[in-house]
Amino acid sequence: MTETIILACWSCGTKQGVEVSQKPYFAYELALIARDVGWVGVLDPAHSRSLVFCSDECLQKQLKKDGTIRKYAKR
């Protein structure tokens, strides 16, 4: 039995449906699912969250000078 989840890029909002055997329960599971489909999955311990990006470019856009991810998305 598979379920479909929708990954949405935190930076640009691009969406992609992904079939998984079970819905992710932990944040690291979401990051691994994103990596499995060619997206970038990131754990952000500074803000206690897991983020997905459609590309490295979208991730780089959201990094601050000190290398951490912004609290709110820069559009």
Please state whether the predicted TM-score (pTM) of the whole model is above 0.75: yes
Q: Where are the beta strands (DSSP E) in 1-75?
A: 3-8, 15-20, 40-44, 49-53
What does the domain layout of the chain look like in residue ranges?
A: 3-61
CA angle at 49 for the pair 45 and 50, rounded to the nearest 5° = 105
Q: How many helices (H) and strands (E) does the chain have?
A: 2, 4
Helix (H, G, I), strand (E, B) or coil at 59: helix
Rounded Cα distance, 12 and 59, in Å: 10
pLDDT string in tens for the chain (75-residue length): 899 999 999 999 999 999 999 999 999 999 999 999 999 999 999 999 999 999 999 999 999 999 999 999 987
